Amino acid sequence: MPSFTVKDGTEIYYKDWGDESDPVVTFSHGWPLSSDNWDSQMFFLASQGYRVIAHDRRGHGRSSQPWHGNDMDTYADDLRQLFEALDLRGVVMVGHSTGGGEVARFVGRFGTENRVKKAVLISAVPPIMVQSETNPKGTPLAVFDSFREAMLKDRSQFFLDVPTGPFFGFNRPGVKVSQGRIQSWWQQGMMASFKGAYDCIKQFSETDFTEDLKKMDIPVLVLHGDDDQVVPIEASAKRTIELLPQGTLKVYPGGPHALPNICADEVNKDILEFIKA
């Protein structure tokens, strides 16, 4: 099981598929999931001649469960150390939801140098989720407080309620519900450390990525569903595209938050076309 140890002793698990000589695409997952949520995209791109790498963020999946360091800067630092350990260059970075924030913070902290050439943000949390005077279309803080309360009360049930409802859009009339997807989400979420998942709620909701987005001086593809109930498009993608120097926005009509899962074929096609452009 491939893994490496970062400077504070945390062990980070990662998947590395394809040939080492192939162009590299990295994947950063959403909360509270793991690299497993990228399997469709990874298998597709690896079959198309790409080397695909996805890690389990600290406190998530098969990585260590440290008490400290569950913050966006450290997430980006961990990923940077993975890039260095594997000597990754000319990478296309892909991030979903919280992972989109991780990609933005990575570029904001370290620049692109010769390591990053393009990025894809899918249903991503930037520029900032929480509502404020300067972000009136954001989500009220009380919503994220309710997440924390639900975790403390009954994490296992909360981690069933999220995928059963808004994450996949299974709460919409006439939508075909996949019990397998619900169980997979629950399993991935329950693998996360309680502390890591709890801390990450603050990180994905209250971190301001505005300056990070401005520093992303590379082509960036933004994919977002207009029925995203978790990260509503008006406060996220439509603001993000105004901040990116070289951004392209594609809106998925009726698309839920879980675009990589529910709209996998279209997402795979869009990523591949963007990489090749």
* 226 catalytically annotated: no
Integer Cα distance of 173 and 58 in angstroms? 36
Query: CA triplet 106, 110, 111: central angle to 5 degrees?
Result: 95
Which residues lie below 8 Å from residue 99, measured CB to CB, with a gap of 6+?
Answer: 27, 28, 29, 30, 57, 124
What's 5-63 look like in SS3? ECCCCCEEEEEEECCCCCCEEEEECCCCCCHHHHHHHHHHHHHCCCEEEEECCCCCCCC
- Cα–Cα distance measured from residue 102 to residue 63, given in angstroms and rounded to the nearest whole number: 16
What gap in Å lies between CA 73 and CA 109, rounded to an integer?
A: 8
- Is-catalytic flag, 257? yes
d(CA 203, CA 223): 21
The encoded tokens of residue 89 equal 């260059």
Residue 56, token pair as written in the block:
């389990």
Single out the catalytic residue among 39, 64, 257, 270: 257
Q: From the candidates 60, 228, 236, 270, which is the catalytic residue?
A: 228
Q: From CA 114, how far away is CA 243, in angstroms rounded?
A: 22
Find the catalytic residue in 97, 123, 193, 236: 97
Q: Is 217 a catalytic residue?
A: no
The catalytic residue positions are 97, 228, 257
